[in-house]
Amino acid sequence: MSDHALSYRPEIDGLRAVAILPVVLYHAGLAWASGGFVGVDVFFVISGYLITSIILAERRAGRFSLVNFYARRIRRIFPALFVMMAACYPLAFVLLGPSAMAEFAGSVVAATVFLANVFFYDISGYFATAAEVKPLLHTWSLAVEEQFYLVFPALVLLTWRMGVRRQVALLAVLALASLALAHWDIAQGKADRAFFMLQTRLWELMAGALAAYWLASPRGRALRAGGRLRHGALLGLALILFAILTYDGETRFPGLAALPPVLGAVMVILCATPQSLAGRLLSLRPMVFVGLVSYSLYLWHVPLLAFTRIGTGRDDTALMLGVCALAFALAWLSWRHVERPIRRMQGVPAGRLFGTAALSMVLLGGLGLAGQQTEGFRAFYLEHRLDPVTRANFEKYQPQTTVQSMTKAECQFAAQQPDAAFIARFERCARTHGRALLVLGDSHTSNIFNALRSTDAAPFLVALWRGGCRPFKPKPECPYEPILPFLEENRDSVASVIFHVSGSHYILDHRGKGDKNAAFLPGEPLRIAMDDIAVTAAYLTRFPAMLDVVWLGPFAEARVDLDNLKNYHPNRLRFNPVSLAHFAVLDERLKAKAAGQPAYRYISLIDALAFDEDTLVQDGCLTFLDVDHFSPCGERLFGPAIAAALEEASG
C-alpha cells in the first residue's frame, strides 16, 4: 500500500473509519449523525498528512520524483473512481429523465477532469434538497484533493532550499489565509463557495501537512514516541464526535466551524500511539478494515443512495441502511479486486500507466460529453420511453417551466438586502408614487412579487427576498434583520409589509426535516414544526409600531416531480392530494396562531386560491415549474386572486 510506504500506522486507518462512517450515515439521513459531513474534513487532514509525509521522506532520501508521485496518485484514485462512474452511467440512463441525465453526464465530465467541485458549486449547494439525488455529488471532495496534489508537491520542491522553518511558516500563513477566506465567504453569504472550492479548503489539507512536518522533526518524533501527548488523541476524537453530533445543514460551515473536526484529526495524528487508549481503539481490526475500504465505500455509497431514492421515491431509514450495507459489500469488492491489485502493480512503466489513465479519461469524458450534447439523450427518451399522450403533454407544458423575465418597471423591483442602491431607488419612487407595498420572505416571495406585478394592484411594489431564508433559521445574508431599521426610517413610505415564506418548511418528514418530498408520500402523517411557527410569529411582532404587517400564508405546493417526464401522463399530472391535505391543516394552525394578534394580520392563500387536484393544469397552463414554485403562467393566473385577497383584507 503506497500510502504506508513509510511506517504503517494502523490508527490512521482507524481514523479513516471515524471519518467515513459518519459521512455514510449522514447521507443515509440518520438524524443523530446530522453533522456527519465533517468526516470529509477529517479525510482532508489525513490526505494532507500522508502526502506530505511521503514527499518529505522521499525528498530527504534523495529519491522523490514527480512522475512517481503522480503515478501513485493515479493508481490510488483513478481505477476505483472510474469503475464506479462507468457502472453508474447505465443506471443513470435507465433511471433519470433527460434533464437529470444531462446534469449527471456533466458531472461525469467534471469528475474526470478534476473539476467536480467547480461543477457542483455552479449548479447547487451540498445541503440543498436536490443534493440527495445527485449520484456524483461526492466527487467534489476528490476534485479538491486532486487539485491540491497538482500544486502542493511543486510548492514543497520550489521552497525546499528555504529550510524547514521557513517552509513551515509559509504553509502556516497559507493555511491561515485559507481559513480567513473561508470565514469571509461564510460571513458574506457565499457558503457554497466556501464549501466547494480549494482555496477555502486548503487550510484543512495544510493542517495535515503541518502535522507531517512536526512528526518528521526530531522533537515531534520524540514527543509522540514518549507518549506524553497520548491523551490528546482522546480529546481529538471527542472534538470530531462533538461536530458529528451537534452540527447540521444549518451550521455555518466550513469556516471556523470546521476547526473542531480538523484540530481533532490533527491531534489524533500527532498524539495516538499503539500504546495509547485512542491508538488501541483505532487499531482494532474492524476499525482498520473499515479504514482500508473507506475510499471505495466513499465512492459507492452516494450513488447507491441517490439511485435508490430516485428509483423508489422513498428514503426511509430501514431502506437507506440496507443500501449502506450493499455499499459496504461493493466497497469490499472494489478494494479487493480493483484498488489493491492495481496499487500493487509497481512495475508498470510510467508511460503505459499515464497512457492508460489518459485513455480512460477520454472514454469516460466522451460518454459524459455525449450525454451533455444530446441533452441527456432527450430525443431517444421521448421517442422510446414515453407513450404518445405523455410525450405530447411534456412537449406542450415543459416550455412553461422555464423562468421568464418580465418587463421591468422602475418602481417595481426586488433585491436581497436593503442596501444603498435599494434605498436610493426606493426613495425616488416614494417621491413619485407615495407609499409602497413591500413583500418580504424566501424564494416563494418571488412568486408573490411576480404575481402582483402581473396585475394593476401596486404600481409601487418592492420585494426583499432570498432563497433559503426564513426567520426560524436566520442567516447573516437574509434580509430579516436589516429590514427592521429600514422600516423604522421609512414607515411613512410603506403602505403594508407582506411577509410570505414557503409552508413546506413547517411540514416535517419522518426524520424531522422540513421541505422534504418524503413528507408528502401517500399515507404519510402530518408533522408540523410548531416551534418554528412560534419563532416566525415572534419575529413579526418586532416590526415598527403602527405599520401594517400581513402574514400572507403559504400556498399549497404541487409536490409533483416535473423532472420525471412520466409524470406528464394525464393521470399523474395532478396536484399531490397529500400536499393539499397537509397544507389545509397547516393553514388552520397558522390562523389559530395569528388570532387576536395585534402586531400583524394573517391572510390565507389556501382560502384565496382554493387549489384542488386539477389545479396543476388549468386553462392550458402548467401552474408549477417544480415541486413548490409557481411557473410564470401560474403567477399570472393566480395574480388577480392574490391581489384581491390582499385588497379585501385591507378594505
Q: What is the 3-state secondary structure (H, E, C) of 422-466?
A: HHHHHHHHHHHHCCEEEEEECHHHHHHHHHHHCCCCCCCEEEEEC
Residue 125 has a pLDDT of 57
Q: How far apart are CA 118 and CA 123, in angstroms?
A: 9
Residue 282 has a pLDDT of 95
DSSP β-bridge partners for residue 603: 552
pLDDT digits (tens, 9 = 90+) for 548-590: 999 999 999 999 998 889 999 999 999 999 999 999 999 999 9
Per the listing, cell 480549494 goes with 198
Residue 348 has a pLDDT of 79
Task: Identify whether the C-beta of residue 570 lies closer than 8 Å to the C-beta of residue 639.
Answer: no
Q: What does the angle CA 609 – CA 611 – CA 616 come to, to the nearest 5 degrees?
A: 115
Domain boundaries of the chain, sorted by first residue? 2-381, 405-558+577-614+636-650
Q: What is the largest CA-CA distance in the chain?
A: 85
What are the mean pLDDT values of the chain's consecutive 10-residue runs (651 residues total)? 62 96 94 93 97 92 89 93 97 93 96 95 68 92 96 92 92 97 91 94 97 92 79 94 92 92 96 90 96 97 96 89 97 95 81 92 96 95 93 89 72 93 95 94 95 91 93 88 94 94 94 89 94 96 92 96 91 95 97 91 96 93 94 95 86 51
Residue 13 has a pLDDT of 95
Residue 436 has a pLDDT of 94
Residue 100 has a pLDDT of 92
Strand segments, DSSP code E, in 371-525 are 412-415, 436-441, 461-465, 494-500
What DSSP designation does 258 have?
G
Q: Which CATH class is domain 405-558+577-614+636-650?
A: alpha beta
Name, in order, each residue with C-beta under 8 angstroms of 245's C-beta and a sequence gap of 6 or more. Answer: 32, 33, 34, 35
